[in-house]
Amino acid sequence: MYAGLVRPILFALPPGVSHSAAFAALGPIEHIPALRALVRAIAAPPSDGRIAVRIMGLEFPSPIGLAAGFDKNATRPRALAALGFGHLELGTVTARAQIANPRPNLFRLPADRALVNRLGFPNDGAKLVGERLRAVRAQIGVPVGISIGKSRAVPFDDLDAVIADYLEAFDCVRGAADFVVVNVSSPNTPGLRGLQGPECARALLAALVQRGGHRARVLLKIAPDLDDEKLEELLSVVKEIGIAGVVATNTTVARARLVTDAKRVAAVGEGGLSGAPLRERAAEVVRRVRAFLGPGVAILGVGGVENADHALALLRAGANLVQIYTGLIYAGPAAPARIARDLLRAIDDQGVESLVGLVGRLDVKSA
């Protein structure tokens, strides 16, 4: 129904309008408990510990989560959880509320099942989003993370100011979330990716861990565009500081091997590419991160997931959890529950006891 009827209607609208329409449709589910319970009963997969994942001292009922960027302001977390996600990552939020970059700033590449965005962290500000999430947190039912980023108004070349900005956002949201993801890898905020350099990353992560205490669940979201040397330098910092995990990966600035006409791609211009073209690179980065960091760190794999085979590829590469965003746009709102059911079916077909039997070790020590 989604692919044949709903998606063509949504794709006839500008991407931003479609997103607003989807959020309007989720509104009644978010705010009416009985409707939310009905949606959960119909849409969500059955509770089954065979696909549960335990990491960071948290229980995830399914490895399939929502990536940051879809619900930037935590306005629909209860509705999204009712669709069958095993966790949500909300945001990205910044210490200072800010509007989106000038339009047009969001584009579809349907032939590639991809999106390009240059939104630039539009959000209501970390304080308001943290308060909003705190008010409904007990009703969501799955682990929730919040992604934090740099406020656009803070100069990227003033590291002390950047760290203070991240700390302000961190303080606003950490009490409302189960984990906090530090976004230093979006291509849409000038200078942000420079924070992936080892010296900047070390100073920033050390400050956040010190502020949150040794039990703080801090994860770092990294770009797919780092070469092997730069990736290892950054991962060395992750290991040194001892944060809880890594989210791999953010969107890419690469445009290689796209099916979409080159003139169309050029007309779209700059921005982060997400979706199917990122699938192979995301798995490779996850594999390298796991090989470098070993089994004791949580890895959330992101990039091109639309079905159970895509999820399994990231899990087998070394991810503990996977996230979808662009896949939700192309595969529809039933995707998280369908993937979870397909994983259960694969467990039955393979004659193994749990998801671990399909992909190897998923449980890691609490961080």
Q: Determine whether 186 is an active site residue.
A: yes
Quick check: helix, strand or coil at residue 109?
strand
What distance in Å separates the CA atoms of residue 189 and residue 349, rounded to the nearest whole number? 46
Nearest Cα neighbor of 91 from 20, 151, 154 is 151
Nearest Cα neighbor of 310 from 291, 326, 296, 333 is 326
Q: Largest Cα–Cα distance in the chain?
A: 56
Q: How many beta carbons lie within 10 A of that of residue 88, not counting itself? A: 27
Q: Which of 185, 186, 236, 354 is catalytic?
A: 186
Residue 263's φ and ψ, nearest 5 degrees, are -65, -40
What distance in Å separates the CA atoms of residue 208 and residue 47, rounded to the nearest whole number? 35
Q: Please check whether residue 183 is in contact with residue 68, taking contact to mean a CB–CB distance below 8 angstroms.
A: yes
Residue 106: beta bridge partners?
117
What distance in Å separates the CA atoms of residue 150 and residue 96, rounded to the nearest whole number? 9
Dump strand ranges (E) for the chain. Answer: 53-55, 58-60, 64-66, 87-93, 106-109, 114-117, 144-148, 179-183, 218-222, 245-248, 272-275, 298-302, 321-324
**Element of type H or E holding 180:** strand 179-183
Phi-psi region of 121 (alpha: psi -120 to 50; beta: other; left: phi over 0): left
Q: Which residues are the active-site residues? A: 186
